[in-house]
Chains A and B, each alone.
Chain A
């Protein structure tokens, strides 16, 4: 190993590393899932023009993009830290910094969209014709739970592998 098994900020703790990796993997995984879903809906309704619904969808899609841009380079850095050479780690960190700058775009976009469309979105959601489907929504969380479990198992595998190798 060119370095220790964990970055110095983890103080040699596999538990801290595992939890951090789990949260950093789970966030972009769910963001990619939701972002893809919203992107598909945005594309499907592209002929309807810009309204409160498309504003809400693009707002959430921008949040997901920002999450992916912030978390994925960090995950790659954590996974590659123990094995990659010093120049490779430096390149990954440079990409991470570039992604920090790039994530400004989606963040400004979602804040601006929210600021512009907030009254319309509230009005639409509270309008009398807005139907609310009050049936059981919990089964929709099944996929979230599955992805969360897989991410937890993955983070535990990486942390244990690093700790005992």
Chain B
């Protein structure tokens, strides 16, 4: 158990200090955002105040992506890339809307904005994921500090 704790602390320190985030992969980002969004939605009840803005924002992002993709559909590799970017946009939109508790109007405009970012959304998601994981690591290190009295 002590070994496990030490390993997890080492991982947290690694996350806090490393520069690996600059090379984080797209699939990793998608999974990170999916996890965050899943965690966020799992904790909610289902009133219209929560679900309607989420739906509106995600659909607005999807519509903007749907009308702005200009890649020829015959090139499968590019289409897969575009679909992944679209997925990332939708997940980011959902996370932001839930986190900030936006209403329908703000959720729609946020969805349009994130959808219009296109490929630029990757950079945004990377910086957000980096901040989120570093905050997690920092809070874990603060909570499990062995030098603290009484722990």
Contacts and interface: CB of A to CB of B under 8 A. Distances in A.
B52 A143 contact: no
B70 interface: yes
A75 to B, nearest CB: 9
B59 A161 contact: no
Nearest to A159: B52
Nearest to B55: A157
Given A161-B48, A165-B48, A29 B70 contact: no
A154 interface: yes
Interface stretch (B8-16, B26-34, B60-68, B129-137): B60-68
Interface string A131-165: 00000000000010011001101100110111011
Contacts of B55: 153-154, 157, 161
Contacts of A30: 67
Contacts of B108: 79, 158
A153 B59 contact: yes
Given A83-B104, A84-B105, A161 B52 contact: yes
A161 B56 contact: yes
Interface residues of A, number: 27
A37 B72 CA distance: 12
A143 B68 CA distance: 11
Main secondary structure of the interface of B (DSSP, over half): helix
B41 interface: no
Interface residues of B, number: 20
Contacts of B63: 25, 29, 147, 150-151, 154
B62 A165 contact: no
A93 interface: no
A126 to B, nearest CB: 30
Contact of A36 (B56, B68, B103, B106): B68
A97 interface: no
B94 interface: no
Contacts of B59: 150, 153-154, 157
A153 B104 CA distance: 14
A96 to B, nearest CB: 16
A82 B52 CA distance: 14
A157 B49 CA distance: 11
B65 to A, nearest CB: 10
Contacts of A111: none
Chain A CB within 10 A, most for which of B59, B63, B67, B105: B67
Interface of A: 25, 29-30, 32-33, 36-37, 40, 79-80, 82-84, 143, 146-147, 150-151, 153-154, 157-158, 160-162, 164-165
Interface of B: 48-49, 51-53, 55-56, 59-60, 62-63, 66-68, 70, 103-106, 108
Given A150-B62, A158-B56, A160-B52, 12 more contacts: A36-B67, A79-B104, A80-B105, A82-B104, A83-B103, A83-B104, A147-B66, A154-B59, A157-B52, A161-B53, A161-B55, A165-B49
